[in-house]
Homo-oligomer: A and B are copies of this chain.
Amino acid sequence: MADDMISLDYGFCTPAVLGEQHGLELAEFEQRVRRAQQWMGGLRQEGKLGFLDLPSQDQSDLAPIMEQAERLRGLADTLVVLGIGGSALGTTAVDMALAGTLRNVAPRPEGAMRVLVADNPEPRSFGQLLDGLDLQRTAFNVISKSGSTAETMSQFLVVRELLEQKLGAEQAVARLVFTTDPELGNLRLIARDEPVACLEVPRNVGGRYSVLSAVGLLPLACAGHDLGELLAGAAEMTQRVLRPGLADNLAAVFAALCVGYSERGRNVLVMMPYASDLFGLAQWFAQLWAESLGKARSLDGELVHRGQTPVAAVGTTDQHSQLQLYMEGPQDKLVVFILPEDYQRVITIPRRYQQIESLAYLGGQTLCRLAQAEAAATAAALAGGGRPSMTLRLPAVNARCLGQVLLMLEAATVIAGGMLGVDPLDQPGVEMSKRLTYGLMGRRGFEDERRQMEGFAAAPRFVV
């Protein structure tokens, strides 16, 4: 089994390799990590960490999801996910990893639905998506815990009308699944009057921790991915992330090093998988990390303005875009490489133009070897400049390893929250922008916000 487990190599964070000035002694964080883990244990006992229970969902838990997936596959070949943030990023992360960046350009395998994630309501991209659909063969999964997300609900209203116009009310309803709160919210209200199938987001699972709930599992089942393997991977990681201390606990080591470096001025965390298919995973992590740890106040109510800025990058591509900055810019970054040990695809570089010395060395080698050599060389070059990195190794890019990665990073985020003394489960900072939007859109009860925005509009303008 060990061969199927992801591992985290943090050699390039240690004083042994990086020197005293830039290296971190992991052991120094042992006590702080243990306190954070105790706090996390408390949250768990209070029932607040529902994401830790998702990997142990059994056949009967999954039955409603599988039933809907089967029903949708029977009537459609395309699933459009209407959701944003935590309702979209997990699905994209796993589907892109397993079905590839070109998954919707090439046809999917027999029986697998095409999954399009519509996570932006602006009319250019959403309009183009709608234009390309054969509504007769398309189903829609509307995902919003509250049912009041302005973006998702606007898109739903457009789609609902369109479906009824083209296919009639009954067929419209048949093509919908809502994933929402077990009892409350607008989508439940609607489903009381119209018989739309509903799946639940557990109360104690927040959006950014919801990929292994119905939020991610329905679209991933429609796409034909192996939910059993995904959950099995997450389950085998759950045991490890709950071990006390740092030993054999990837999440604790990851959290300790990120927090340690952020407190030493490295407040940018670059997540750089060496595979385009894993860019979605880096973007999923960027939400998890930013929204969980970017907080004005500590758990004690003190103003702290914490939060490491996550950056999603891709190797080798971004060696030709961001690496110059990472190598020579300020000492403000920690890089996490994600490296598949098996790309599950062999492409050998032919021996051609062997008379050209600066091409000859490539012939006979594989593209896998090139990517791995570039990743190793980049990590070494960074280390040579006192710039730390970790490498998360995946034995393969498959559902099982992805389950491990997702669960590990979720747990690491909560541990990091505990170490930093901030609440990794809330997001109070997005309220103001929502309220001002309601004001501008004329929602009742937000007249003050409207006046506030009118004040900005009337201010002197500075435009060039």
Contact = CB atoms under 8 A, between A and B. Distances in A.
Contacts of A373: 437, 440-441
B277 A305 contact: no
Total copies of this chain within the assembly: 2
A35 interface: no
A334 to B, nearest CB: 12
Contacts of A315: 120, 122
A438 B361 contact: yes
A274 B452 contact: no
Interface in A372-430: 373-374, 376-378, 380-381, 383-384, 397, 427-430
A97 to B, nearest CB: 9
A254 B369 CA distance: 42
A367 interface: yes
A305 B330 contact: yes
Interface string A63-92: 000000000000000000000111011000
A443 B369 CA distance: 14
A268 to B, nearest CB: 5
A1 interface: no
A286 to B, nearest CB: 6
Interface residues of A, number: 158
Contacts of A316: 84, 120-122, 151
Interface string A261-304: 00000011000001111000001001100110111110000000
A345 to B, nearest CB: 4
A14 interface: yes
14 contacts: A9-B462, A9-B463, A10-B463, A11-B459, A17-B459, A101-B125, A101-B128, A120-B315, A124-B397, A157-B353, A306-B329, A361-B442, A369-B441, A377-B439
Given A86-B320, A105-B116, A309-B309, 6 more contacts: A11-B461, A122-B368, A123-B366, A149-B320, A189-B353, A307-B329
Contact of A309 (B11, B150, B246, B333): B333
Given A132-B106, A347-B158, A358 B307 contact: no
A433 interface: yes
B436 A381 contact: yes
Given A9-B462, A105-B105, A363-B157, A371 B121 contact: yes
Contact of A189 (B17, B322, B356, B374): B356
